[in-house]
Chain A
């Protein structure tokens, strides 16, 4: 899968490497900005209030 993505990237090798790094960074950013905060609400290990079961 990742091999296929890497091979489908355009340009010479250095450009593919740069593009893959950018893709990884974009994925990490989406995870940190949107996905993790949303998942975190359901993390019972950080519950610190009283009265919540």
Chain B
């Protein structure tokens, strides 16, 4: 309210520079407009960098949470046995026989959740069919169409961003052989053991073959392959992380004790 008294005086003052500017030559005008456009271009580029490196992560994590919510709406987390005895002293994995495998036709939408404790206790990311920008830029991990289902003999191959858009595989280089990676589908929980990483050129499509790097071989192992860009903040190469299925638990048996809390937390978001 007090401001309104200050508002009146500026009026005549704005008029004066107006008249002064009219004396400029056309050359000066062009130079000024060009300069202002160039400064604008610089600011827009900076904004783009900020948007790409910072905002896309916020945007993607919101969408991933929604995808998790939808996944857990269809797949209620089984109550299962009490999540006791978590930690290194957990009992040896029970044997539930050959894992149930989702048919290829059911690999649509968000069909799985991946838990990687090495990447953090709250690391639970949805897995969505497809590796186009529509999936990877919004929903995190994408499943290469035509590659195996979780737990299947062959290669369950996923892609994810190392930087920007949720950067779901930012920490891929910190995996240590023996690390567990857990995949949850509506059928149950698949425990994979990380084996090794490999850095290849972007055209090496054979790393997602049923037997990685040997497209002609008959698959025997149940592999999980993660692909992301390498180096960080670059894309000259790809970093590939291979894991092998160790065990599985049907949904009724509940999650493996060591990730029971992770599963509850991921489902609790919904």
The CA of A1 and the CA of B32, in the complex, are separated in Å by 8
Q: Are A14 and B229 in contact (CB under 8 A)?
A: no
Q: Are B14 and A45 in contact (CB under 8 A)?
A: no
Instruction: Point out the residues of chain B lying under 8 angstroms from A48, CB to CB.
Output: 136, 159-162, 169, 227-229, 235, 238
Q: Are A45 and B203 in contact (CB under 8 A)?
A: no
Any B CB within 8 A of the CB of A23: no
The CA of A40 and the CA of B3, in the complex, are separated in Å by 44
- Given the known inter-chain contacts A13-B7, A45-B235, please indicate yes or no for A50 contacting B55, CB distance below 8 A: no
Q: Give min CB distance, A4 to chain B, whole Å.
A: 8
- Given the known inter-chain contacts A40-B137, A48-B160, A50-B159, please indicate yes or no for A32 contacting B51, CB distance below 8 A: yes
Q: Out of B7, B52, B169, B235, which one reaches A47, CB within 8 Å?
A: B235
Any A CB within 8 A of the CB of B61: no
- Given the known inter-chain contacts A32-B51, A53-B202, please indicate yes or no for A12 contacting B10, CB distance below 8 A: yes
Instruction: Point out the residues of chain A lying under 8 angstroms from B92, CB to CB.
Output: none
Residue with the highest number of chain B CB atoms closer than 10 Å, among A13, A14, A45, A49: A49
Q: Give min CB distance, A41 to chain B, whole Å.
A: 5
> Can you report 6 A-B residue pairs in the complex whose CB atoms are below 8 A from each other?
A31-B51, A43-B52, A46-B163, A48-B235, A50-B205, A51-B202
Q: Are A50 and B204 in contact (CB under 8 A)?
A: yes
User: Which positions in A face B, CB cutoff 8 Å?
Assistant: 1-3, 7, 12-14, 28, 31-32, 36-37, 39-41, 43-53
A-B contact count (CB 8 A): 94
Complex interface bits, B184-204 against A, C-beta within 8 A gives 1, otherwise 0: 000000000000000010111
Q: Out of B21, B52, B164, B204, which one reaches A3, CB within 8 Å?
A: B21
Q: Are A53 and B7 in contact (CB under 8 A)?
A: no
Instruction: Point out the residues of chain A lying under 8 angstroms from B163, CB to CB.
Output: 45-46
Q: Chain A interface mostly helix, strand, loop or mixed?
A: helix
Q: Are B48 and A50 in contact (CB under 8 A)?
A: no
Instruction: Point out the residues of chain B lying under 8 angstroms from A49, CB to CB.
Output: 131, 136, 142, 144, 159, 227
Q: Out of B21, B52, B205, which one reaches A51, CB within 8 Å?
A: B205
Q: Give min CB distance, B132 to chain A, whole Å.
A: 9
The CA of A37 and the CA of B134, in the complex, are separated in Å by 10
Q: Are B208 and A40 in contact (CB under 8 A)?
A: no
The CA of A39 and the CA of B48, in the complex, are separated in Å by 9
Any A CB within 8 A of the CB of B217: no
Q: Give min CB distance, A51 to chain B, whole Å.
A: 4
- Which residues of chain B from 130 to 162 have a CB within 8 Å of any chain A CB? 131, 133, 136-137, 142, 144, 159-162
The CA of A47 and the CA of B36, in the complex, are separated in Å by 33
Chain A residue with the shortest CB-CB distance to B208: A50
